[in-house]
Every structure is written in C-alpha cells, then in structure tokens.
Amino acid sequence: MARAVVRAERLSKDYAGHRGVDDLTFEVAEGEVFGYLGPNGAGKTTTIRLLLDLIRPTSGRIELFGLDVRRAGPKARGRLGYLPGDLRLYERLTPREHLRYFASLRGMSGLGDGEGLAERLELELDRPIRALSKGNRQKVGLVQALMHRPALAVFDEPTSGLDPLVQQVVYELVAEATADGRTVFVSSHVLSEVQHIAHRVALIRDGRLELVDDVESLRQRARSRVEVSFAEPPPTGAFDGLEGVREVGRNGDVVRLTLEGSADPLVKALARYEVRAIDSHEADLEEVFLELYRRPAGAR
C-alpha cells in the first residue's frame, strides 16, 4: 500500500452529553478516495474535526502526512483543504475577497486554481456572499478547499445543497485530484454518492467503525435484487432454504428476492412455477449498508 496520508490510531472522543467516536483505527493511503459513510449523528463530523485539530481526542492520535496534528497542526494543515459540513462564510465579503483572504493565510500570492475552479462551477466571484444561495455558498467552500491544490482534501458532505449537474462537477474534481496523486477524504450519509468515486469506504455507526473495505470487494459481497412475476402466486415459503436466496417481499403475483452468489438454485426452483417475467437489478451497495445498519451495533 502507498504511504499513509491519514493515520488514526485508537482514536476516541468522549462528550459529556452525547456520543463522540470510540476507538477508531484506520489509514488513508496516498492517492486514494476514501469514503467515510454513516448515518447522521454517527460521528463522521467528529472524526473530521479531530483530523483538523479543531477538537482534541480523549485518547488515541492522528497523523497527517506522518505529522502529529496536535504538535505540527499548522504544517499539516498547510497541505490540506477542508470543506466543513456546516459551512459558514464571512457574509460581508465577496467570494473573491473570501478566497483572497484564505489564499493569503496559506501564503499564496494569487488565487491559485481559484478562478478556474470558480468558472467550472459557474460561481460568480463578485456578488456579496450574503446574497448567495446555499448551493453557491457551497461552491465558494469547494473552491476555497481546492484552490491551493492540497495534497489532502477533506470534504464533509460536499454535495449537500448542490444541484445534480454541479454534483457531477464535484465528482470530476475529485477524480482529477486523485489522478494527480492527491488524496481525498469524503464523508457522506448517502452511499450512492460515494460508491462511484471512492476506492475504499469506511462505515461508522454509533461512533464505531463497522467496516473498512474496498468498494470492489464490497460490490462482490452485494446481493442482486430479483423481481419475479408469476401467473399465480407461489405458496408462502416456496423459496425458503435456497442457497443465497431470500424473499424480501411480495405484492400479489410479484415476489421480490435477493440473490447472493450463483443464480442456479433459484432458477431451478422457479422452473416449478409458471413465470411471466424476471427482472434483475445490478448489485447495489446500498443493500449491503442497509443490512449493516439494521444489525445490532458491534455485531459483525
């Protein structure tokens, strides 16, 4: 594996009133897109704010580029671009002024890639930020996070508030960044958003990591969905006990099943009935995740 850009080691954050994160250990390798998934409130933003040294861990440690963020925070953050989940900007500035301010804080003389990015995202740079829509504000945040070509981009829910066309541009930007060998850490509560851009995903629930895996191997674990229309409904339990097959619902003559592995046992079983149509959907990671979410916490 390539060099680790992010390394979290037994990271825990306790809060008096609410749950933080518990014993997180993971690494993000140079050049990969790491999708950080979980339902709202699971601890995604807490993890990211720990990475940024905005909050301090109760125990454990974090390294960015091999630097301990508690001790070498400014140096580590110099190579990082951050888009907060709850983005707040300086309302009295224009986007151009806002970008210029952050460029100065980063020691840049111009706006770097800022103007080019703004153009691609169709962001007007000279209207006051207080007059901008949520989507346009999000664009300011994105340009701010990427204008200095950071070696690591940390995006907390980057496409929230963006229309689908702009979301697509964001996915392109992520792909381009990794094509340059840069690393992207992206959190989301929507799997579909991450499964097309991430190489690996981590799933966090109730502050604990449930799984960290390649998107490809997850896909192989995924079940495909099969919808079968019968001439008349087969008896209840007709598909019980078939290897890799599970009935997930029926509606009159239509039975919905999930299929894992070989389709042969199912096809053989269907042959006993009069089948009008078979509709099969590509394996969807969503199912894998929903299943993980439904399981009791901690069970693997």
* Amino acid at the residue 80: L
Q: Which stretch binds other proteins (CB under 8 A): 25-33, 50-58, 119-127, 269-277?
A: 50-58
Determine if 251 is a binding residue for other proteins (CB under 8 A).
no
Q: How far is the CB of 138 from other proteins (least distance, A)?
A: 13
Q: x/- string (CB under 8 A) for other proteins, residues 105-124?
A: xxx-----------------
**Total residues at interface with other proteins (CB under 8 A):** 32
SS3 25: strand
C-alpha 181/C-alpha 150 separation (Å) is 11
The binder of other proteins chosen from 54, 212, 238, 263 (CB under 8 A): 54
Q: Which is nearer to other proteins, 55 or 169 (CB)?
A: 55
Cβ partners under 8 Å of residue 88, min gap 6:
none
Q: Which is nearer to other proteins, 78 or 161 (CB)?
A: 78
For the CA atoms of the chain, what is the radius of gyration? 23
The binder of other proteins chosen from 84, 95, 207, 234 (CB under 8 A): 84
What are the backbone angles phi and psi of residue 74, rounded to the nearest 5°?
A: -60, -40
The alpha helices in the chain, defined as continuous H runs, are 44-51, 69-77, 95-105, 114-120, 134-146, 164-179, 191-195, 215-221, 264-270, 285-294
What are the backbone angles phi and psi of residue 82, rounded to the nearest 5°?
A: -130, 130
Determine if 14 is a binding residue for other proteins (CB under 8 A).
no
The binder of other proteins chosen from 104, 192, 217, 262 (CB under 8 A): 104
Determine if 269 is a binding residue for other proteins (CB under 8 A).
no
What are the backbone angles phi and psi of residue 27, rounded to the nearest 5°?
A: -130, 145
Determine if 55 is a binding residue for other proteins (CB under 8 A).
yes
Q: Which stretch binds other proteins (CB under 8 A): 97-105, 198-206, 215-223, 282-290?
A: 97-105
SS3 41: coil
Residues forming contacts to other proteins in the complex (CB under 8 A) are: 15, 49, 52-56, 73-75, 77-78, 80, 82, 84, 86-90, 92-93, 97, 100-102, 104-107, 141, 144
